[in-house]
Structure 1
Amino acid sequence: MNKRNFKALVLMVGAIFMAFLMVNVTSHASTSREQGPDWSKYNGNSGTFGYSTDKFVLSQAGGFYGGTNIPQTTYNSQVKSAQQAGKRVHTYLWDGVGGNMTNAKAMMAYYLPRIRTPKGSIVALDYEDGASNSVTANTNVIKAQFNLIKAYGYTPVLYSGKDYLNAHVNTSAILRAYGNCLWLAEYPDYQVRTSPDYNWFPSMNGIAIFQFTSMYKAGGLDGNVDLTGITKSGYTTASKAKAQANVKHAQAAKKATFKVVKYSQRGVFYPNRTLAVRYTDSDKVRQVATYYSGESVAYNAVIIEHNYVWARYTRSNGLYGFIKLGVTNGQAYGKRVTGQPVSHTYYTVKSGDSWWAIAQRNGLSMTTLASQNGKTIYTTIYPGQRLVVR
C-alpha cells in the first residue's frame, strides 16, 4: 500500500470512529445540548453561573459522610437563587454508603422529604468514594436508592467517573432498569472550557449528562452538558400544572389550622394562636412548619395519627405529652377542641445505643424519633436518658 492510500485509509477510519462517537453521544440527545453548572457549599448561598446561556443547575443537598447524614446549609438558598434566575434546578447527594443497605435506606429516609426541587426533577447520587469490595452489594444499594427516589416522584441519576463505575458497579443492571441515567465526568485538562470536547467523551452506554470540565470559567466551576433532555424532567408543561395543583393543595392545607386553647394546668396554650399542619411524610407522621412556646410549656410539634391531630408539648420539668387538637376529617376538623394526653412508651438509653439502633427497634425513622423528643439526630444521647418511642 502506498503512502497516499494508507493516509486516506487512516483518515477514513478516523472519520468513521468520530461518526460512531457522535452517534453514540447524540442518539438520545436533545438537539439543544443545553449546559449548566453544579453547585455545592463551596459555591456560596446563591451559587454562581458560568454564562447567561446556562439553562440548568444541580445543587447539593448534603450526603452521607463517615457514617452519618450531613446536610448542606446552602442547598435551600441555592435552589431559590436558581429559581429566581429562571433556571431549571435539580438536586444531588453525596452517596458515601458503599454497599451498606441499612445506611442507604437511612440516607434516603433523611433526604427525600427534604428535597426542594420540583417533583419529577433529578435527584442524583454522587457515587465516587467508599464503595465496598462487592460489586453486587454496591449495585443493589444503588438500585434500592433509585427505587426510593422514583417512589418519591423524582428522576434518579447516578454521578461518577467511568473507571470508578466499571470497578465497583454493574452499570448494565442499573441501565436495564432505568435507561439512560448516568452523569459522567471526564476532563481533557484543567484549562477553562466553555463547551465540551467530545474527543474526551467517556465512551459508555447510558450517559445522560456529561460533566466536561471543572474549569467552566476562570476560578473553577463544574460545567455540564445535557445530552438527552433529562434536565427538563420536572419542568414540562404537565409538571408545571401538577406543581400549581400541589401549591393550591398546600395552601388549602395551611388554611385548615387548629385554634389552641389552655389545657388543664400543665401549661398555657395561647388562645387564638394557630398551628399550621403541613403534610410531608409518607409514614403518616407529619410535622408543622412553625413552633410556638407557652409560659412553661413548649408546644413544638403536631403529628397526625389515626385521623387525630395531636400537639406535642414539653413541660418545664422535661416530661412530654400529647394533646388532641382535632380530627382530620368530620365536623371537628379545624375547630377548637381539647382532649386527654396520650400515654406513651419510654426507652432508657443503654451504652452503645444510637439514634439509628433505637429507631429501628421501635419501627421509627431516626428523624421522627429525635423530633418527638425535641432533638435532632446530631444531638448526643447518653446511657440512662429516657426517650419517647411511642
Structure 2
Amino acid sequence: MTDFPGAPDPNAPRDGRRLRVLAAMSGGVDSAVAAARAAEAGHEVTGVHLALSANPQSFRTGARGCCTLEDSRDARRAADVIGIPFYVWDLAERFREDVVDDFVAEYQAGRTPNPCLRCNEKIKFAALLDKALALGFDAVCTGHYATVVTRPDGSRELHRASDEAKDQSYVLGVLDERQLAHAMFPLGDTSTTKEEIRAEAERRGLAVAKKPDSHDICFIADGDTQGFLASRLGTAEGDIVDEDGNKLGSHQGAYGYTIGQRKGLRLGRPAPDGKPRYVLDISPVNNTVTVGPAASLDVTALTAIRPRWCGTPPSGPGTYTAQLRAHGGETEVTAEPIGEEIHVTFTAPVRGVAPGQAIVLYDGTRVVGSATIATTDRVRASADH
C-alpha cells in the first residue's frame, strides 16, 4: 500500500476557489466522473482508493464489488486518464472493526444494520476525512448523489440530489456540519440520468463507463448473508412461534432473520386464515423468532438513539418527513429529541420497521439528521428490542 510522499502546504496561496481535493475513487463510474468534474472545475485533485480488506479477493468482484483488486485497478486507470495523482490507502483494519464487526454484532443482538451508512460515517467521512485534513486537503470528494448547500452565515446543509430518483442522502444522514464543510458531491446538483453519466464517462475516455453498478454488501463475497453470519456466529437452534407463543417451527440462528421477512421461514403448517406469515420480532435473549400476519407489522411510533445532526439540532418537537430505507419513500412524522433519543410518531402506520435500521429526518429536501431505531410501537405489540 502506498502513502503520500508529502502533504500539501495548507498555507499555500489560494485564489478563493481552487481547493485541494481528495477524491475517493471506488473503481466505479460515479466516483470517476465526480473526480473528473472536480478536476475540470479547477481544483487540485488527488485520487485515492480505499483498500478495505486484508484479502481483497474475499470481497465481491465485478458488478457486485467496490473494494476489490479489480476495482483498485479500475480506479487507478481512471485517475491516469483524468491526469491526477493516485494512491491506495489501507483502511482494512479500521473497516473490519467499525463496519464488519459492527454488522455481525448488530445481527447477533437481533437488529438489522445498514453497513453502507456505517461505512460513510466511520470510514469515508471520519477516518478518510480526518487523514485528508491532517495532510492539508480541503475536502473529500465522492460520487454520491446529494447536495451540500452553503447558507449566508457560512454553515452547511445536506440536501437531496436534484434528481431524487438517484438521491443517496439517506446513507449520508450521519454526517455532521463539520464533515459537511469538507464534503464535495459533484454529481448531486445535476439532473443527468445514470445513462448520461455513463455517456459522460465514455466521452472522457474512462473505461469504467460501462462497468455495472455495485450493489448489496461488498464484504459478503457470495451474497449469502445468512451463511456469512453463521460462519462467524455458529448455529443455535431455537423456536419460531406465533404471537401467542405457540411453536410453529425451528431455526438454526435467530440472527438469520429480519423484521418483515416472509420467505424462508419453512413452517410446518399454514396460518389458520391461509395468509402469509411475516417475522414480527427477533429475541436474542431466548433465541426466538416471532411470526404473524402482515397487519401486525404496522408501526405507529418508535424511539431512536445516537442521533447525528446535519447542523444545529432541533430544540423541540417538529413535523418532518422520514425515510427508513436507502431506497424507501418518505412518510410524515412528528419527532422530538429528548436527550440522546428521538421520539417519533407516524401520521399513518408503516410496516417492516426494524431495530438497528436508520431513520433519517427531512425538512423538505434538507436532511435534518439521523438516528438508529431502538424500539418500535406496533398495533399489536410484540416484544421490542
Q: Same fold (TM over 0.5)?
A: no
Structure 1 or 2, whichever has the larger Rg, is 1
Higher relative contact order (CA 8 A, sep 6+): 2
